[in-house]
């Protein structure tokens, strides 16, 4: 029994060869996020307080700024992969789906970009 659809058979199309790419990227980013999120939350909770001076001094340290940029980048990528599937699953109308997927990408680039730019401002700022 062939698992290929009748349409793909009649068109003579083979596999797109990237069937597991999205799935795999989701796992790799998930594994990377385990240490990154735990580092971020535990070090924040370990600070004596969450006041402006304390947090800013903490984030201004090169190692913290670097890890925070990595955290935001991987987190944004992982969230983008996950919520893309949610929209693909639940938004049936083709037009609405395309617009929703496009807006979602814009939103992630905006949120991730703004956060990374802010971290760099703290790292390299006055």
Q: Which residues bind other proteins (CB under 8 A)?
A: 6-7, 27, 30-31, 34, 37, 41, 45, 50, 52, 55-56, 59, 68, 72, 75-76, 79, 82-83, 86, 107-108, 111-112, 114-115, 117-119, 121-122, 125
- Residue closer to other proteins by CB (options 86, 102) is 86
- Residue closer to other proteins by CB (options 39, 108) is 108
Map tokens 């909770």 to a residue: 45
Query: What is the C-alpha to C-alpha distance for residues 113 and 6, in angstroms, rounded to an integer?
Result: 44
CB of 16 to other proteins, least distance (A): 20
Query: What is the C-alpha to C-alpha distance for residues 106 and 46, in angstroms, rounded to an integer?
Result: 34
CA-wise closest residue to 45 among 58, 31, 32? 58
């Amino acid at each position: 029994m062939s698992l290929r659809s009748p349409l793909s058979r009649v068109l003579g199309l083979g596999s797109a060869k990237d069937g597991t790419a999205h799935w795999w990227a989701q796992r790799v980013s998930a594994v990377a996020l385990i240490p990154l999120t735990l580092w971020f939350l535990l070090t924040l909770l370990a600070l004596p307080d969450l006041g402006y001076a304390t947090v800013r001094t903490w984030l201004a340290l090169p190692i913290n700024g670097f890890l925070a940029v990595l955290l935001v980048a991987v987190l944004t990528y992982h969230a983008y992969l996950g919520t893309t599937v949610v929209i693909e699953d639940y938004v049936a109308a083709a037009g609405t789906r395309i617009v929703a997927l496009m807006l979602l990408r814009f939103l992630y680039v905006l949120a991730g970009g703004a956060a990374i730019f802010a971290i760099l401002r703290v790292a390299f700022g006055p």
